[in-house]
Amino acid sequence: MTSIGNSDARVRIGLEIHCQLTALRSKLFCTCPADYRGKEPNTNVCPVCLGMPGTLPLLNRRAIEYAMMLALVLNCKIPSRITFYRKNYFYPDLPKNFQITQYNAYEQASVGVDGVVELDDLDGSSKTIRIRRLQLEEDPGRLAYDGSIDRSNYALVDYNRAGVALVEIVSEPDFNAPNEVRLFLNRLASILEHLGICNPALEGAVRCDANVSIGEQARVEIKNINSFKDVERAVTFEITRQRSLAARGIEIRGETRHWDDARRITVQARAKEEEEDYRYFPEPDIPSIVISSKDVEAIKASMPELPHARVERFVNVYSLSRDTAKILVGEKHLADLFEASIKYYDNARSVANWIVTDLKGYLERYDDGGGDGSSSSSNSVILAKVTPKHIAELAMLVDSGKINRATARQILQRVIATGMLPSAIVQSINVDMLSNKDELASIVDKVIEEERKAFMDALSNEKALNYLLGKVMRYSNGRADPKLVLSMLKERVIGTSKTGQ
Ligand code: ZN
Ligand code: MN
């Protein structure tokens, strides 16, 4: 197994990733809408997801299909029987006092088991990450801390999210470096987007826990990493923390730590429960689901084009370089923008180049997260304003030599600010700003002619220049470049005083 980047075989990192199936209409076991965001607390609930006595869960069939799709893409085996379990624990965000989830201690009964993902970096090196299991489970509710209240006093509970379908992916501890984790998560985000089952840009739609150990030292679990972007940071911090402890001869404690995204450090949390504390047992209200090979084939047949196939198509059909194709497909919205843009301008390489270098560069500069290539909501706001027609026109204007690349990048900013088409912006720039000295000279001369007295005043009083400038601006309908006009007026004044006229 070759490795990628600064990998250290003594460092072992495993991931536990939760992805909400945001494309579902309803929750996992009831008909409440899956879209809980932005609603009044405790209005997106029913007796089932509130765990009222006498209610029964009704499994969302589509959730199984979506989870199976993802399992197949991650090269998991699909067991012939899928079983749900109760994971018992008390926490205020869990109305039933148990979570309906899956578990593999007694049998292989999760939606997917024993997967593998090949990571390949742009430099051609590669690495295999094993997936232990992929399971379906319900999201708990959320605790809200009112800002005006001392956090130690109480929290408010909102069950709107309770029962939303989650896919949990558990990897083996096969990552040896933080950048491998980032590559994997970027890949996963692209797969989720291409399958159309989860929008990773939605707040809280993807969450990640990571376990980190070095050599024979104990394993530390990092919880609470609420965006894919922060995982690399959290893991990097944790490796540094453990190395510095080890360097001072301090033993690493097996513990759970939280990622504090404001301070960008991990902090100690509660001691970890042991698995047996959860008293897992098969969920009696949901019968096991038998999966036939026909079912699996049907799911396979219903899958949309996946990132790998799309890269191949971009290389073969549009003659893009493999690297360019990978960068585009790495973020589905960019790949979609590319394919839509070349309908307006039939130069695939030029359009691709524009998106991969100029647009992506712009997005990364405006990305508070430091631009690691994953989607962010601020970027989607920007991207919503850039249409395929905009991109096509920009590439076309550059190719035709009408504008240079630097100007094109400035125009991109105007496109984002105004939504105007680049061709219209180019025209308005040409019309707007009169910055040609020869054209301005006639207006300047005319004004000096008419305002002889003010001009003579200007020889001793610079303020009179502003009066003359104002008049030039009026004569040019505000189009003159004021800086240039001022310097021309000054030249005339100096010239006049030298000749003593
Ligand atoms: Zn409900
Ligand atoms: Mn879980």
Predicted pLDDT of residue 170: 96
Predicted pLDDT of residue 112: 95
Query: Which domains, ranges and CATH numbers included, belong to the chain?
Result: 12-294 (no CATH), 315-429 (no CATH), 437-499 (1.10.10)
Question: What CA–CA distance (Å, rounded) separates 402 from 383?
Answer: 25
Query: Could you tell me which of 161, 97, 107 has the C-alpha nearest to residue 135?
Result: 107
Predicted pLDDT of residue 369: 45
Instruction: Enter the tokens of residue 461.
Output: 């009083």
Helix (H) or strand (E) holding 82: strand 81-82
Query: Could you tell me which of 375, 359, 351, 338 has the C-alpha nearest to residue 198?
Result: 375
Question: What CA–CA distance (Å, rounded) separates 313 from 352?
Answer: 14
Instruction: Enter the tokens of residue 363.
Output: 């997005």
Predicted pLDDT of residue 4: 59
Percent of the chain's residues with pLDDT above 90: 58
Q: DSSP letters of 94-131?
A: -TTSEEEE---SSS--SSEEEEEEEEE-TTS-EEEEEE
Give distance in angstroms: CA of 278 to centre of ligand 1.
24
Please say whether the beta carbons of 224 and 99 come within 8 A.
no
Give distance in angstroms: CA of 245 to centre of ligand 2.
30
Separation of CA 164 from chain center: 21
DSSP class of residue 278? G
Q: pLDDT for 202-252, tens place per residue?
A: 999 999 999 999 999 999 999 878 888 899 999 999 999 999 999 999 999
Give distance in angstroms: CA of 7 to centre of ligand 2.
28
- If pLDDT is split at 50, 70 and 90, which confidence band does 1 have? very low
Q: pLDDT for 411-436, tens place per residue?
A: 888 888 788 899 888 887 665 556 67
Give distance in angstroms: CA of 194 to centre of ligand 2.
23
- If pLDDT is split at 50, 70 and 90, which confidence band does 385 have? confident
Give distance in angstroms: CA of 221 to centre of ligand 2.
14
Q: pLDDT for 121-180, tens place per residue?
A: 756 778 999 999 999 999 999 988 765 555 567 788 999 999 999 999 999 999 999 999
Give distance in angstroms: CA of 272 to centre of ligand 2.
14
Predicted pLDDT of residue 375: 45
Give distance in angstroms: CA of 376 to centre of ligand 2.
24
Give distance in angstroms: CA of 428 to centre of ligand 2.
55
Selected residue with higher pLDDT from 452 and 104: 452
Residue 30 C-beta-side C-alpha neighbours within 13 Å: 22
Predicted pLDDT of residue 371: 38
Question: What CA–CA distance (Å, rounded) separates 248 from 358?
Answer: 47
Query: CA angle 392-396-402, nearest 5°?
Result: 140
* Helix segments in 272-369, DSSP class H: 293-301, 307-318, 322-330, 332-341, 348-353, 360-365
Question: What is the rounded average pLDDT of the residues 274-280?
Answer: 77
Predicted pLDDT of residue 121: 72
CA 268, 270, 276, 278 dihedral sign is negative
Query: Could you tell me which of 326, 345, 343 has the C-alpha nearest to residue 335?
Result: 326
pLDDT surpassing 70 at residue 199: yes
CA 359, 362, 364, 367 dihedral sign is negative
Q: Which residues are paired to 138 by β-bridges?
A: 165
Nearest ligand for residue 95 CA: 1
